[in-house]
Amino acid sequence: MNPITIDHLTKRYAGFTLDDVSLTIPTGYITGFVGANGAGKTTTIKAALGMVRPDSGSVTTWDKARIGVVLDTPPFNPQWRIGDMIKALAAFYPVWSGDVLAEQLDRGGIRADHMVKDLSRGMGMRLQMGLALAHAPDLLILDEPTSGLDPLGRSELRDDLAEFITDERHAVWFSTHITSDLERLADNLVIISRGQIIADGPLDEVRAGFVKAQGTPDQLTSHLRRIAHGLVETAVGWEALVAGSDATQLSASIVCSEPTIEEIVVAVAKEAHHD
Amino acid sequence: MTNRRPSLIRAQMGLDLLIYRRSLASTMIIGVIVPLLLAMATHELAVAIPMVIGVGSVFAITAFGQDEVSNLNRLYESLPITRRQFITARYALLSCWLAVSCLFLLLLTALTRPSSPQMWAIPLLSTAILTLVNATLVPLIVRFGARRSTWVLFGLAGVTGALVFSVGNFLIGQDDLANLFTSTWQMIWLPTALLAVTAMIALGVSWHITQRLHAAKDF
Ligand SMILES: Nc1ncnc2c1ncn2[C@@H]1O[C@H](COP(=O)(O)OP(=O)(O)OP(=O)(O)O)[C@@H](O)[C@H]1O
Ligand SMILES: [Mg+2]
């Protein structure tokens, strides 16, 4: 059984629909999850965790005792004392490693007598990460875990994830806006735009699914305008992404190259913005 | 540290106690020490009992109200506990709380050295009222949120009060009825028993309704 299987999931809000989302998170890999603000990443993750009830479709996941979770905002009572809270949360799990947690707290400068309300944003993320790892999970679900972390913190988190995934029975699913983290970490990539999954596969395949095309103004035909994603025009030329399947239609004089993940994400987001 | 098979309901009750620990001092003063002193000094329950009921009524607001403001429901959803177990844990804690309140009210009554055995109905009636208040409040809070629910409860209390008052007035006017209740058993213990049973049933129904309301929610 895959750690997460989302099957034709639909969730409607006023002004937003998570539309027929299907995806699986496999074991042995780190799956990155990107998309513009409001594209539906958090909603998808919440649905996977059962926080959001789907209007239709289904979600199956491993038992929660096997899942470590980092949410975009720490879901703790501001008045809890860290030490008390840790003791109370440990009681929910069959296994609990105080050492793993202590290492994370130590790095974040978090003390047991701190109150939740006294933590900085980055400290809150590290606390969540420590709690997620302490019960020896097999699956990590992380919603923007690097947001609020300083460069050292981000690098430490990347190392933690890389180490975690060396056990091939483990799986990681994380959303992010920081594409360099994806390039360094992710084996697989899921791109979501306006509530729809528009790319899902191994990072290299997703990247190969797009071609970066550059040319002079006279090469920009109306047909090209139709197939171009995230077109940028200047007085001297233009630049756009074209789906790999459409690339054969480009004339030989147009310069083609492989786009970065950043360029793909930006092009997709720009398009969502225009429509 | 390893707990072989954790009891999720007990774990949840432990987590909830963190919230109550914060208001422990004020609860002890207003809900325990002052009523205790009053009961010992005046040998009267008139002020002490309303104070205990007042403090006891905020139980539900404290736990469920906190969940809303701090996104705690998202934490519970990421823990291994199911939504059903979560609500069961809350009602288990509420039941403990009601039992402790009942014992405390009995202690208060004992301290006033009651002149007649009928006085012992007062702590029992008070516990029944406390149970009814909490049984009503919890599903309201889960459905409408803590702030709106308090107003809904005030409204309900007003309507119930008016109803009891007018029905009572009507009954007092009926001479036949007054003749019907001749013994203290009928006057005091029968209504007390009825109210106690009603309160217990209400708590069970409330638990069931809250389960269903909670199961349908998005966090
Ligand atoms: N409870 C809700 N009620 C109404 N609309 C909602 C609700 N939750 C989310 N939305 C809407 O769903 C859309 C997707 O939100 P979501 O939080 O999933 O985006 P996201 O991809 O995580 O964005 P970000 O990168 O900013 O975190 C947004 O338009 C948001 O306003
Ligand atoms: Mg988000």
What is the 3 state secondary structure string of A203-228? HHHHHHCEEEEEECHHHCCHHHHHHE
Q: In which band, very low, low, confident or very high, does the pLDDT at B33 lie, cut at 50, 70 and 90?
A: confident
Higher-confidence residue of B32 and A92: namely A92
Q: Are residues A128 and A256 in the same domain?
A: no
Q: Are residues A236 and A266 in the same domain?
A: yes
Q: How many CB pairs under 8 A join A and B?
A: 88
- Give the Å distance between the CA of B32 and the centre of ligand 2: 46
Per residue in A199-218, pLDDT tens?
999 999 999 889 999 999 88
Q: Are residues A58 and A130 in the same domain?
A: yes
Q: Are residues A115 and A224 in the same domain?
A: no
Residue ranges in chain B assigned as alpha helix (H): 8-22, 24-26, 34-42, 48-69, 72-78, 83-111, 121-144, 146-172, 175-180, 184, 190-215
Q: Which residues of B22-31 are buried (b: 16+ CB within 10 A; e: fewer)?
A: eeeeebeeeb
Cβ within 8 Å, pair A51-B218? yes
Atom of ligand 1 nearest to the CA of A40: 18
Burial of B151 (0-12, 13-18, 19+ CB in 10 A): exposed
Q: What is the pLDDT of residue B145?
A: 85
Cβ within 8 Å, pair B218-A92? no
Q: Are residues A233 and A132 in the same domain?
A: no
Q: Is the Cβ atom of A176 under 6 angstroms away from ligand 1?
A: no
Cβ within 8 Å, pair A65-B77? no
Q: What is the pLDDT of residue B72?
A: 95
Cβ within 8 Å, pair B77-A71? no
Backbone torsions φ then ψ of A212, nearest 5 degrees: -90, 120
Q: In which band, very low, low, confident or very high, does the pLDDT at B173 lie, cut at 50, 70 and 90?
A: low
Backbone torsions φ then ψ of A256, nearest 5 degrees: -115, 140
Instruction: Please answer whether residues A265 and A191 qualify as being in contact, where contact means their C-beta atoms are separated by less than 8 angstroms.
Output: yes
Atom of ligand 1 nearest to the CA of A192: 21
For testing the chain B interface, which of A45, A51, A61, A135 should be mutated: the one with the most B CBs within 10 Å?
A: A51
* Chain Cα centroid distance, residue A48: 13
Rounded to a whole number, what is the distance in angstroms from the first to the last CA of chain A? Answer: 38
Query: Average pLDDT of A26-48?
Result: 96
A28: domain CATH number?
3.40.50.300
Q: What is the pLDDT of residue B154?
A: 76
* Residue A21, number of CB atoms within 10 A of its CB: 25
Q: Are residues A186 and A55 in the same domain?
A: yes
Per residue in B53-85, pLDDT tens?
878 777 777 888 888 888 999 999 999 999 999
**Which chain B residues touch A76 with a CB distance below 8 Å?**
70, 72, 75
Cβ within 8 Å, pair B19-A77? yes
Q: Which ligand is nearest to the CA of A39?
A: 1
B175 has a pLDDT exceeding 80? no
Atom of ligand 1 nearest to the CA of A144: 27
Angle at A178 between CA B75 and CA A125, to 5 degrees: 30
How far is it, in rounded angstroms, from Cα A9 to Cα A61? 14
Last-in-domain residue among A160, A179, A206: A206
- Residue A73 touches chain B, beta carbons under 8 Å: yes
Q: Is the Cβ atom of A11 under 6 angstroms away from ligand 1?
A: no
Cβ within 8 Å, pair A77-B4? no
Instruction: Please answer whether residues A164 and A93 qualify as being in contact, where contact means their C-beta atoms are separated by less than 8 angstroms.
Output: no
> Tokens standing for B171?
């009954």
Distance from CA of A95 to the nearest CA of B (A): 5
Distance from CA of B59 to the nearest CA of A (A): 17
How far is it, in rounded angstroms, from Cα A234 to Cα A239? 9
Residues with Cβ within 8 Å of A269's Cβ and at least 6 positions away in sequence, in order, are A35, A36, A39, A193, A230
Q: In which band, very low, low, confident or very high, does the pLDDT at A139 lie, cut at 50, 70 and 90?
A: very high
> Tokens standing for B57?
């009524």
Query: Average pLDDT of A45-71?
Result: 97
β-bridge mates for residue A69, sequence order: A141
Rounded to a whole number, what is the distance in angstroms from the first to the last CA of chain B? Answer: 31
Q: Is the Cβ atom of A195 under 6 angstroms away from ligand 1?
A: no
Name the DSSP class of A27. T
Q: Are residues A176 and A191 in the same domain?
A: yes
Instruction: Please answer whether residues A124 and A148 qualify as being in contact, where contact means their C-beta atoms are separated by less than 8 angstroms.
Output: yes
Ion ligand 2, residue ranges at CB < 5 A: A 41-42, 72
Q: Residue A126 belongs to what domain range?
A: 4-206
Q: What is the pLDDT of residue B52?
A: 83
Counted domains in chain A:
2
Q: Are residues A115 and A227 in the same domain?
A: no
B178 has a pLDDT exceeding 60? no
Q: What percent of chain B lies above the pLDDT cut of 70? A: 89
B4 has a pLDDT exceeding 80? no
Nearest CB to A90: which of B1, B72, B73? Answer: B1
Per residue in A244-275, pLDDT tens?
888 888 888 889 999 998 899 888 888 776 65
Q: Using DSSP bridges, classify how beta strands A188-193 and A30-34 pair: parallel, antiparallel or unpaired.
A: parallel
CA distances from A78 to A74, A88, B70, B75 (A): 10, 15, 7, 13
DSSP H/E element including A48: helix A41-48
Q: Are residues A95 and A215 in the same domain?
A: no
**Which chain A residues touch B26 with a CB distance below 8 Å?**
none
Closest CA to A131 of A106, A160, A102: A102
**Which chain A residues touch B5 with a CB distance below 8 Å?**
94
Burial of A182 (0-12, 13-18, 19+ CB in 10 A): buried
Q: Are residues A71 and A196 in the same domain?
A: yes
Last-in-domain residue among A187, A206, A225: A206
Q: Is the Cβ atom of A28 under 6 angstroms away from ligand 1?
A: no
Strands lying side by side in the sheet with A196-202: A67-70, A139-143, A171-175, A30-34, A188-193, A196-202
Q: Are residues A151 and A222 in the same domain?
A: no
β-bridge mates for residue A172, sequence order: A30, A140
Q: In which band, very low, low, confident or very high, does the pLDDT at A58 lie, cut at 50, 70 and 90?
A: very high
Q: Which ligand is nearest to the CA of A46?
A: 1
Last-in-domain residue among A176, A206, A236: A206
Per residue in A3-35, pLDDT tens?
999 999 999 999 999 999 999 999 999 999 999
Q: What is the pLDDT of residue B3?
A: 59
Question: A181: number of CA atoms within 13 Å, CB side?
Answer: 27
- Residue A64 touches chain B, beta carbons under 8 Å: yes
> Tokens standing for A98?
């105080």
Query: Average pLDDT of B8-14?
Result: 96
- Give the Å distance between the CA of A15 and the centre of ligand 2: 16
Q: Are residues A220 and A187 in the same domain?
A: no
